């Protein structure tokens, strides 16, 4: 009871205090409100004192044209101006247009008094609370004020002034008059001001005669005239907005649902644009950027002078490249192509060709494909491997290219439908093998890969859960301009300079934006070593030779260049993107309607030709630049990361799965190399490849899938190559080579007794051997220089005949093998000198010169020798002796003549042997066993 009484007393006291407080506060609030009302009223009177009449509103809508220039600021690309406008009364405008406009912009127009307080509430309160974009409360009356009188500055003062003027305008004019002024004042794009001009420009008809479909298209444009332009690159978005307006009209009972659906299906025919314009796709791309920043009215009427990043020469090279290849593309089933060129260390867009021909309606030429989202195919792979290098894997890391079920029936195939077995990441990326790429993505993680791609500029790859492992084969979508810019990050050694198109913007009064004064500041988004590793792979012409050959369109001769192709499913898109240190360029080829190209129209056959042609033209006459080589990678305990897998060599008997050592004296088995082959998951943990090996490799979700695919490949490979000595055999577990064949005393003893010389001048010559064997012989083989010349049975005389051409001069080695019935082998060999001459070779050492002093920095150093002999020089040894130390060491042995001079032999002395004094000389050996030593030169290394 006491508690309840206390609560009641507290409530009573609270009410008393509140009543007292209210008596004090309410008068003050009323005073403040009154003062605010007076201030607002004064503001209204001040701001609305010069409110123009309807005709004045129309006249304020036209201003000075905007001029867009190339990077020099002297070459005019396009002039935005010369506005077209025809004032039309509301009675001469189709009701379909007025209804569509109201449905699109302000369906409560005839109910409010200039302001939509519900919309203001959504924009001011709900937007901050939800963190989402919420439709604001700008009415048609406010938009008329904004487009006709006020500047587009985004300030509270301007918004407040807009609201006050909207209220005043509603007091002065009727609703139909305001709507009439609005429909005659707003920009519709393509220099059309007012709905009559827009109807004439886009449809070639008057505003009173448009169809429902045409009316809703016109109503859709004012929200973003450049973006939604039917001559631009976002027609699908324009159609989507049109259909939204039709649905809204049906909901408001302005039209029936049947009429709305019919309008959605109506085929729209637009009048062809007639523009005096250069680089049109780039120009309208810039125009969109300007409108986003400054608003449509300022861009259309503000008299801006805009200097862009465009290089007029490169733009011309790009346009000519695409136009000149049009017939070639058509023969490959492609109607269109697009090209973007970017400077990697500024981000400047140097060239942008959105399609082969902007004015060709048959190919939707007005669409700027370079800013459309398309599947990149394999051109995304470098970013996956870069993420792998970032994680600790390396270009020499071995992955197994074997058909693999990655789960849920996902079994990717290579473009050539073949399996290539163990390959390095270098080879897998350079040759664009698909299966290793999927494995690399799994090792990296899809989210890690997309995070890296977004850091490098491909912001559209933002949904890793949707892509899955198919991301590496083009499962996401990117824009050509973005992926070209991202390749530029490799060229800039890991620093990202976002793609930019505008350098300077100014009007008659002031400079609004200026990026010409300073070098842009990039952001380091990738470790320089990782960028260099990736570039080293992409520029390795030999590494991609297995698929592309050494003379493909992906190389520029002596000029280093990194490049990668991409092809999407059914050849719907062909890509090639590549870079030098100062130029990144990307090419897309395909059809705008996403229909497949012809069979075999891969990026390497379509886009690569255009890319190669452009790069050669763009770089003609410029210095050849070199990429920075990556630093040597540190050693690791896991050999597979550096391209090493366990192997043994020996004599392999496939029938019994027995491996004898190579030295084992048995007749069975073929000399082979056996290698251990597992998935990389067997050796390293994908979460930490440089750390300890996995305790339970089978715990990885993909381990069994990968091992199963590799086991099947091992079996197929070994069966196919069981008799091919040059091919290694692969096993999950290597056998240990052994030689369990008894003691040395059990082997046959073989001795060559005739001839008793090593010099032969007569052909034929009979060779006889003597054999003493504790076991019965099965056969005796005579092998001369690797070729069997005779095989004898166990009994009788063991001899064979050596024959040679009487003009032959040189050496031949004979091996005689005695093989017992229990497969023990005894052998003897002798090297014969055939028709030796009586002269020895002559030899002269040229470098190093006698008494020469070298520094350790002079190494590697080339030793040059001239050697001759009538029978031919067999080889030359280049040797040195260090003063005060015993023994002779070899610099090199060579039998290859240098191309610089006849009889010249050269070898590179790679590393300095240390400080001190050395004697350097050479020895030449002829084909018949004679040899001659050169003079000796003294060399001092300091």
3-state SS assignment for residue 154: coil
Within 10 angstroms of residue 361's Cβ, the number of other Cβ atoms is: 13
H helix intervals, 789-830: none
The backbone torsions φ and ψ at residue 380, rounded to the nearest 5 degrees and listed phi first, read -85, -15
Q: Calculate the CA 779 to chain-centre distance.
A: 62
Report residue 743: phi and psi, to 5°: -95, 170
Structural contact between residues 937 and 921, judged by C-beta atoms closer than 8 angstroms: yes
- Lateral strand order in the sheet of 777-784: 759-760, 825-834, 810-820, 777-784, 787-792
User: DSSP for 2-35?
Assistant: HHHHHHHHHHHHHHHHHHHHHHHHHHHHHHHHHH
* Rounded-to-integer distance, Cα 920 and Cα 941, Å: 12
Please say whether the beta carbons of 672 and 652 come within 8 A: yes
- Using only C-alpha atoms, the chain has a radius of gyration, in whole angstroms, of 41
For residue 344, give Cα distances in angstroms to 54, 309, 350. 52, 13, 10
b/e burial code for range 377-406 (CB count within 10 A of at least 16 → b): bbbbbbbbbbbbbbbbbbbebbbbbbbbeb
Residue indicated by tokens 């089933």: 333
- Encode 76-88 in three state secondary structure: EEEEECCCEECCC
In degrees, to the nearest 5, what angle opens at C-alpha 475 toward C-alphas 364 and 376?
A: 50
Contact between residue 34 and residue 271 where contact means Cβ atoms under 8 Å apart: no
Distance CA(80)–CA(275), nearest Å, equals 10
SS3 call for 295: coil
CA distances 214 to 93, 104, 250, Å, are 13, 14, 16
Q: Which residues are designated catalytic?
A: 105, 378
Task: Give the integer Cα–Cα distance in Å for 918 and 887.
Answer: 12
Indicate the burial class of 715 (C-beta count within 10 angstroms; 0-12, 13-18, 19 or more): exposed
How far is residue 87's CA from residue 54's CA, in Å, rounded to a whole number? 11
Look-up of token digits 């290698």: 675
Q: Identify the H or E element spanning 565.
A: strand 562-567
Range 756-782 burial, b when 16+ CB lie within 10 A, else e: eeeebeeeebebebebebeeebeebbb
The β-bridge partners of 849 are none
Axis crossing angle, helix 528-538 with helix 381-391, rounded to the nearest 10? 130
Three-state secondary-structure class, residue 319: helix
| Rounded-to-integer distance, Cα 574 and Cα 379, Å | 9
Give, for 546, the enclosing helix (H) or strand (E). Answer: helix 545-548
User: By three-state DSSP, how is residue 304 classified?
Assistant: coil
Residue 759: CB partners within 8 Å, gap ≥ 6? 832, 833, 836
Q: Is the CB of residue 224 less than 8 Å from the CB of residue 275?
A: no
Q: Does an H or E element contain 653, and which?
A: strand 647-653
Residue 657 CB coordination number (10 Å): 9
Q: Is 254 exposed, middle or buried (0-12, 13-18, 19+ CB in 10 A)?
A: buried
The Cα angle at residue 650 between residues 647 and 655, in degrees rounded to 5: 105
């Amino acid at each position: 009871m006491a508690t309840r009484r206390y609560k009641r007393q507290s409530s009573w006291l609270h009410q008393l205090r509140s009543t007292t407080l209210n008596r004090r506060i309410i008068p003050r609030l009323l005073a403040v409100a009154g003062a605010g009302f007076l201030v607002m009223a004064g503001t209204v009177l001040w701001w609305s004192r010069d409110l123009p009449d309807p005709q004045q509103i129309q006249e304020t809508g036209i201003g000075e044209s905007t001029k867009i220039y190339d990077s020099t600021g002297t070459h005019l690309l396009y002039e935005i101006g010369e506005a077209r406008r025809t004032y039309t009364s509301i009675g001469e405008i189709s009701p379909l247009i007025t209804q569509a406009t109201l449905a699109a912009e302000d369906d409560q127009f005839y109910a409010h008094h200039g302001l939509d307080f519900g919309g203001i509430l959504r924009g001011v309160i709900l937007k901050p609370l939800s963190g989402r974009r919420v439709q604001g409360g700008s009415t048609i009356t406010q938009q008329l004020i904004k487009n006709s009188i006020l500047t587009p500055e985004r300030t509270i003062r301007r918004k407040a002034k807009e609201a006050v003027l909207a209220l005043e305008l509603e007091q002065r004019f009727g609703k139909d008059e305001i709507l009439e002024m609005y429909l005659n004042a707003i920009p519709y794009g393509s220099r059309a001001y007012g709905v009559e001009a827009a109807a004439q420009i886009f449809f070639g008809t008057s505003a009173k005669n448009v169809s429902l479909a045409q009316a809703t298209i016109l109503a859709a444009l004012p929200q973003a005239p450049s973006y939604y332009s039917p001559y631009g690159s976002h027609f699908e978005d324009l159609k989507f907005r049109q259909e939204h307006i039709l649905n809204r009209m049906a909901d408001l009972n302005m039209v029936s649902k049947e009429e709305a659906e019919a309008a959605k299906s109506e085929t729209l025919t637009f009048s062809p644009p007639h523009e005096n314009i250069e680089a049109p796709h780039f120009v309208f791309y810039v125009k969109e950027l300007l409108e986003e920043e400054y608003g449509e009215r300022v861009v259309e009427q503000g008299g801006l002078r805009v200097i862009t990043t465009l290089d007029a020469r490169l733009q011309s090279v790009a346009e000519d490249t695409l136009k000149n290849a049009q017939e070639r593309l058509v023969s490959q089933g492609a109607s269109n192509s697009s090209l973007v060129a970017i400077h990697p260390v500024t981000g400047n867009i140097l060239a942008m060709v959105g399609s082969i021909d902007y004015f060709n309606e048959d190919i939707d030429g007005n669409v700027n494909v370079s800013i459309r989202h398309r599947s990149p195919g394999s051109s995304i792979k470098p970013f996956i491997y870069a993420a792998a290098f970032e994680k600790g894997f390396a270009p020499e890391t071995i992955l197994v290219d074997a058909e693999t079920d990655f789960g849920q029936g996902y079994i990717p195939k290579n473009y050539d439908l073949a399996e290539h077995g163990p390959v390095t990441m270098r080879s897998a990326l350079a040759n664009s093998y698909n299966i290793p790429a999927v494995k690399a993505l799994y090792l990296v993680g899809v989210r890690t890969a997309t995070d890296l791609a977004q850091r490098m500029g491909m912001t559209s790859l933002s949904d890793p859960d949707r892509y899955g492992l198919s991301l590496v084969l083009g499962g996401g979508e990117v824009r050509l301009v973005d992926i070209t810019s991202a390749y530029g990050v490799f060229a800039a050694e890991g620093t990202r300079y976002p793609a930019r198109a505008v350098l300077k913007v100014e009007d008659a009064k002031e400079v609004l934006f200026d990026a010409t004064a300073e070098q842009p500041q990039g952001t380091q988004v990738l470790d320089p070593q990782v960028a260099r590793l990736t570039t080293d792979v992409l520029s390795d012409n030999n590494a991609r030779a297995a698929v592309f050959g050494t003379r493909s369109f992906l190389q520029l001769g002596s000029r280093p260049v990194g490049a990668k192709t991409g092809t999407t499913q059914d050849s719907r898109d062909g890509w090639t993107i590549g870079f030098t240190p100062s130029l990144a360029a990307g090419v897309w080829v395909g059809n705008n309607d996403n229909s497949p190209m012809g069979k075999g129209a891969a990026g390497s056959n379509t886009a690569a030709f255009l890319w190669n042609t452009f790069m050669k033209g763009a770089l003609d006459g410029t210095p050849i630049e070199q990429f920075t080589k990556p630093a040597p990678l540190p050693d690791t305990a896991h050999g597979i990361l550096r391209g090493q897998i366990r192997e043994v060599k020996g004599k392999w008997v496939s029938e019994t799965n027995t491996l004898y050592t190579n030295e084992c004296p048995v007749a069975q088995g073929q000399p082979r190399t056996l290698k251990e082959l597992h998935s990389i998951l067997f050796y390293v943990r994908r979460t930490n490849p440089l750390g300890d090996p996995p305790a339970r490799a089978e715990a990885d979700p993909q381990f069994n899938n990968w091992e199963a695919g590799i086991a099947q490949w091992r079996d197929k490979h070994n069966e196919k190559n069981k008799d091919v000595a040059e091919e290694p055999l692969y096993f999950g577990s290597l056998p240990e080579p052994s030689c369990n064949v008894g003691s040395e005393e059990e082997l046959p003893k073989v001795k060559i007794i005739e001839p008793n010389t090593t010099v032969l001048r007569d052909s034929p010559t009979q060779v006889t051997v003597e054999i003493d064997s504790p076991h019965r012989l099965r056969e005796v083989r005579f092998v001369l220089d690797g070729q069997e010349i005779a095989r004898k049975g166990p009994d009788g005389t063991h001899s064979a005949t050596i024959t040679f051409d009487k003009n032959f001069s040189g050496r031949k080695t004979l091996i005689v093998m005695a093989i017992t019935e229990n497969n023990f082998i005894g052998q003897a060999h002798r090297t014969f000198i055939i028709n030796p001459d009586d002269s020895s070779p002559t030899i002269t050492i040229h470098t190093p010169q006698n008494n020469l002093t070298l520094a350790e920095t002079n190494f590697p150093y080339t030793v040059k020798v001239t050697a001759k002999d009538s029978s031919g020089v067999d080889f030359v040894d280049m040797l040195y002796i260090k003063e005060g130390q015993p023994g002779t060491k070899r610099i090199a042995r060579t039998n290859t003549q240098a191309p610089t001079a006849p009889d010249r032999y050269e070898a590179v002395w790679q590393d300095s042997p240390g400080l001190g004094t050395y004697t350097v000389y050479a020895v030449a050996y002829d084909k018949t066993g004679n040899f001659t030593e050169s003079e000796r030169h003294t060399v001092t290394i300091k």
